[in-house]
Amino acid sequence: MLQHMYDASDERAVHLWIENPYWQFFCGYDYLQWKFPLDPSSLSRWRKRLGEEGIEKILAVTITAALDVGAVKASSLKTVIVDTTVMPKNITYPTDSKLYFKGIQTLVRMAKDYDIKLRQTYVFLSKKALRKVGQYSHARQMKRARRESKRLKTYLGRIVRDVERKISKNNFLKTAFNSVLKILNKVLAQEKDSKNKIYSIHEPDVECISKGKAHKKYEFGCKASFVLTHKEGLALGTQALHGNPYDGHTLKNVLEKAETISGKRIDKAFVDKGYKGHGVEDKQIFISGQRRGVTRWIKQKIHRRQAIEPHIGHMKSDGRLDRNYLQGILGDKLNTLLCGVGHNLRLIIRKLCHPKEFQLV
């Protein structure tokens, strides 16, 4: 929880815990501690042990704490704003040459670990080819750059076939190499217009999401949905959505999850135009630009829908939503929930430190 409040890595969070007596008191210690409470690697194990359900319980506790300190009113939980954003994964910008080179490195390292003698590793030649791809691309000599990229693809294909021949009669090695070879064969087969492409060898579930932004046309990660209270911006539900689904198709599930976590029924939800055709009938859904059946009070509420944007911005700049370092689909789900936990705790701390200034219009 402290880690996602202050955007700290596992190692940094443990070191800050030693320096900060307030953190130690928050964790239940009455006297100043001088030793690390745990090894930084234990944080990743605890996250997996808690799982999605455990983090959802922590998020529910932060909502209860916000109600207790007066950071949010109970009536505010009935009116929410829903929006989605992209949670980028911790991967390099994907190119074909990088994928081929990374695949070569991965297979050669695994072959060495399992004592498989390859006919040729292409370690030196692949580094040379990757360097030439960068040089030719910088000089806008794209034909030569494509030639070197094709050379890397040839090297990777040769190593893949060599490994497949060497492990064909060993069931143990087949099991060990199965997932990696499946990913690399998909990398070798995919073309420019292929669907469900691989963008990272170590994170094969990463998706390419186009947001239409001028400064960032494509983002690589997964879509994340947030349900915040309309007035205070308290996170009632956060969810990672894989497969780049249409926003309107996710609204019903997201609202039901937020109701389960908060324990309160949601009556009204304000969304943007991306949620048209949502199909939610048991709640009042107001879409930006809507004119039919809108009173002056509802119109003001619709105008305030965009108040969710700075809250998401704070989760990215102050929390850990801007780059997800947790592995796999489970890591996406846990990181999204923990970003909501950190956001709620920052609102609670703000209320406790500045009770008079905590006045939102």
- Write out pLDDT tens, residues 117-169: 999 999 999 999 999 999 999 999 999 999 999 999 999 999 999 999 999 99
Q: Per-residue pLDDT averaged across 282-309, rounded?
A: 86
User: CA angle, corner 266, sides to 224 and 300, nearest 5?
Assistant: 85
pLDDT of amino acid 277: 84
pLDDT of amino acid 213: 78
Number of Cβ within a 10 Å radius of residue 350: 13
pLDDT of amino acid 215: 82
pLDDT of amino acid 210: 86
* Residue 307 Cα to chain centre, angstroms: 22
pLDDT in tens, 59-108: 999 999 999 988 899 999 999 999 999 999 999 999 999 999 999 999 99
pLDDT of amino acid 147: 96
pLDDT more than 70, % of the chain: 98
State the angle between helix axes of 328-353 and 41-69 in degrees (0 to 180), rounded to the nearest 10. Answer: 40
Rg (alpha carbons) of the chain, rounded to whole number: 25
227: phi then psi, degrees, rounded to nearest 5: -120, 110
Is it the case that residue 199 has pLDDT exceeding 70? yes
Tokens of 326: 């947790």
How much is the mean pLDDT over the chain? 91
CA separation for the pair 4, 337 (Å, rounded): 10
DSSP helix/strand/coil, 225: strand
Question: Which residues are within 8 A (CB) of 55 and not within 5 positions of it... i.e. 6 or more apart?
Answer: 47, 334, 337, 338, 341
Task: Outline where the chain has alpha helix (H).
Answer: 2-5, 10-19, 21-26, 41-69, 96-113, 123-138, 142-166, 171-189, 247-262, 296-303, 308-317, 328-353
- 48-91+208-353 has CATH 3.30.420 classification: yes
Is it the case that residue 301 has pLDDT exceeding 50? yes
pLDDT in tens, 226-241: 999 999 999 999 999 9
pLDDT-derived band of residue 361, with 50, 70 and 90 as boundaries?
A: very low
How far is the CA of 88 from the CAs of 93, 209, 220, 336, 352, in angstroms?
Answer: 11, 10, 5, 11, 32
Is it the case that residue 358 has pLDDT exceeding 60? no
Tell me which of 13-27, 199-213, 261-275, 347-361 is least confident.
347-361
CA separation for the pair 99, 54 (Å, rounded): 36
pLDDT more than 90, % of the chain: 72
Is it the case that residue 359 has pLDDT exceeding 60? no
pLDDT-derived band of residue 356, with 50, 70 and 90 as boundaries?
A: low
Could you tell me where in the chain the CATH 3.30.420 domains are found?
48-91+208-353
pLDDT-derived band of residue 360, with 50, 70 and 90 as boundaries?
A: very low
Tell me which of 1-5, 178-182, 286-290, 312-316 is least confident.
286-290
pLDDT of amino acid 214: 79
Q: What's at 302, amino acid-wise?
A: I
266: phi then psi, degrees, rounded to nearest 5: -95, 125
Residue 168: CA count within 13 A, CB half-sphere: 6
* Residue 16 Cα to chain centre, angstroms: 24
CA separation for the pair 199, 127 (Å, rounded): 20
